Structure 1
Amino acid sequence: MESDINKLRVKIFADGADLRLIESFRGLDFIKGFTTNPSLIRSAGVKDYEKYSKEIASKIEDKSLSIEVFADNFDLMIEQAKTISSWSKNIYAKIPIMNTNGEFSGPVIRELSLAGIPINITAIMTTKQLRASLNVINSDSKIIFSVFAGRIADTGRDPCDVMTECSNLLNGRYNSELLWASTREIYNIFQAEKTNCDIITVGYNLLSKVNLIGKDLNDYSRETVDSFYRDAKSTRLKILPDR
């Protein structure tokens, strides 16, 4: 339930690119910000990136919005990030931790942080990558470190171990925030809280399940059985002949 969500310390960001849904989520108290990525932008069929980004930024007002660069070249990443940042004061420019050749985006992170541009370093998977980022940033800059906990879990590793280590590394850095990314289930919100993450980004499909938090499990069991029974009847398949 929303009241339970509001009791958590971790901030919930809505992850997606559908303008209609962004409008519906912006008024929810427990939604503190919004994130997008190129895959979500492509799925939404966006034609004008600048117009689209400015429209979202204006609709969500004081809540933060992370918009990713498209470039793979470091110089172009910097140029694009500066442009993206100029579109609205509540925008964080998302920078991948590396380019497609596996080269660390350190020069980009360093220049943008020195310029005071809020950035969201994305696709982080290891504490080594986070440490490398910390070595090149200006500590006064506003930085979000997006660690892809869900993808880490996909490899059979416990993401909570990584998130706890990352949280410890960021302890005392008042302008740096740790974000639990690639969320797979509602329980991840509580894992993010337990591992001292500052933010968790949750897809629109998962946000529809927030009302299940704290649900009576016996009731949930009965509803599940009822759902299976109705589906079985609708198939009109038979195990035994009619009697």
Structure 2
Amino acid sequence: MSVKLSDLKVKLFTDGADKAQIVEMAKQPHIAGFTTNPSLLRKAGVTDYEAYARDLVAAVPDRHISFEVFSDEIPEMRAQARVIATWGEHVHVKLPVSTTRGETLYELVRDLVSDGVKVNLTAIFDVPQVEEGVKALAGGAPSIISVFAGRLADLGIDYKPAISRAVDLSRQTPNVEVIWASTREVWNVIEADQMGCQIITAPADVLKKLPALGSRTAAELSLDAVKAFRSDALAAGLTLDLKGRAAAE
């Protein structure tokens, strides 16, 4: 049975930092929120972080939006998180699971959520990180744990154990939701929905394909492909001289 956009229970977030694109996507009622990160901010040419973020929150005041700390020192991360949390009612502070030196941030996460800071714990890749991360988030402000399924898949690593464990724990932890992150294709949205993830964040070009869900059958897609090959062969002017070969045969 084919799935349609209206069948999906998973909440759809757009992953990106371009303001014009975010405003465009916010016009779609099925887009529930937005996620950013320092890499996306760099790509968008952001230099004044707070001015950019406050402008973005004003443009989409009714949607979830995640902004990440960028320090690599825990005391400064704590201070940045508290500043970011003031940018809007629906803002979540993204915190990586560790510093670049591998120092885990679970204690910092626990302190922040207990003080009412909404946290998006990010760069989660394995089951132990999932378990420790949910434990740190439990009982605090509404928060999220982001499992990077796509990056695992890129290296042939099975992401299902981490996703499944996160979903199971989130069902036992009322204030925690799971984001399927680093989405690569439309099928990931279906997978996230089927596996019980509350949220998936994906690039706009992936999300823009979702209204077409259920619009074509496999047989129709096959015929479309055959027609496209034929059309392109004619457009390219491809020829083969078969006269002499036919006589030889």
Normalised by the length of structure 1, the TM-score is 0.90
Task: Report the equivalent of 1:141.
Answer: 141
RMSD (Å) for aligned C-alpha atoms: 2.0
Equivalent-residue separation in structure 2 for 1:24 and 1:71 (angstroms): 31
Decide whether aligned partners of structure 1 residues 211 and 217 sit closer, same or farther in structure 2, where only a CA change above 3 A counts: farther
Alignment partners' CA distance in 1, 2:62 and 2:19: 17
State yes or no: 1:216 paired with 2:221.
Answer: no
Deviation at 1:160, TM superposition (A): 2.4
Contact 1:35 1:66 in 2 (8 A): yes
Given residue 163 of structure 2, which amino acid in structure 1 is its aligned partner?
M
User: What is the match of residue 66 of structure 1?
Assistant: 66
* 8 A contact 1:65–1:92 mirrored in 2: yes
1:199 deviates by 0.3
Q: Aligned partners of 2:32, 2:5: CA distance in 1, in Å?
A: 12
* Contact 2:106–2:136, Cα closer than 8 Å, also in 1: yes
Deviation by residue 1:187-227 (Cα, 9 ceiling, x = unmatched)? 11111111111100011121222133112223322333343
**Paired AA for residue 91 in structure 1:** V
Equivalent residue, structure 2, for 1:154: 154
Q: Structure 1 residues 42, 238: CA separation in 2 closer, same or farther (over 3 Å shift)?
A: farther
> What is the match of residue 128 of structure 1?
128
Q: Distance in 1 between matches of 2:240 and 2:75?
A: 66
- C-alpha distance in 2 between matches for 1:112 and 1:236: 65
- How far apart in 1 are the matches of 2:224 and 2:38? 38
Instruction: Report the CA distance between 1:11 and its aligned residue.
Output: 0.6
Rounded to whole Å, the distance in 2 between the matches of 1:170 and 1:211 is 28
User: 1:98-133, CA deviations, whole angstroms, 9 ceiling, x for partnerless residues?
Assistant: 111111112321221121100100010112012212
> Which amino acid in structure 2 is aligned with residue 15 of structure 1?
D
Determine the C-alpha separation between the residues in 2 that align with 1:135 and 1:33: 24
Once the two structures are TM-superposed, the CA of residue 150 in structure 1 deviates from its matched residue by 0.8
The answer to whether the Cα contact below 8 Å between 2:134 and 2:176 also exists between their aligned partners in 1 is no
Conserved 8 A contact 2:8-2:193 = yes
Native 8 Å contact 2:130 2:162 kept in 1: no
Contact 2:34 2:65 in 1 (8 A): yes
More displaced 10-residue stretch of structure 1: 231-240 or 75-84: 231-240
In the aligned structure 1, how far is the partner of 2:26 from the partner of 2:144?
Answer: 20
Name the SS of the counterpart of 1:24 in structure 2: helix
Structure 1 residues 4 and 61, CA gap change in structure 2 (3 angstroms): farther
Quote the sequence identity (%).
35
Instruction: Give yes or no for contact 2:115–2:140 (8 Å, CA) kept in 1.
Output: no
The 5 Å alignment of 1:83-94 reads 83-94=83-94
* 1:101/1:128 CA distance change after superposition, 3 Å: same
**Structure 1 residues 55, 226: CA separation in 2 closer, same or farther (over 3 Å shift)?**
farther
Cα distance, 1:231–1:127 mapped onto 2, change above 3 Å: same
**What's 1:104 paired with?**
104
Most deviating of 87-96 and 217-226: 217-226
| 2:197 equivalent to 1:188 | no
Instruction: Tell me how far apart the structure 2 counterparts of residues 204 and 189 of structure 1 sit (CA, whole Å).
Output: 13
Query: What does the per-residue CA deviation read over 1:163-182, in whole Å, with 9 as the maximum and x for residues that have no partner?
Result: 11211122221111011001
Kindly state the Cα deviation for residue 18 of structure 1 after the two structures are TM-superposed. Answer: 1.4
- In 2: Cα distance, 1:32 partner to 1:89 partner: 15
User: Structure 2 length normalisation: TM-score?
Assistant: 0.88
Q: 1:218 corresponds to which letter in structure 2?
A: A
Q: What secondary structure sits across from 2:189 in the alignment? A: helix
Q: What stretches of structure 2 of length at least 5 have no aligned partner?
A: 244-249
In 1, the alpha carbon distance for the partners of 2:18 and 2:241 equals 47
Corresponding letter in the other structure for 1:223 = D
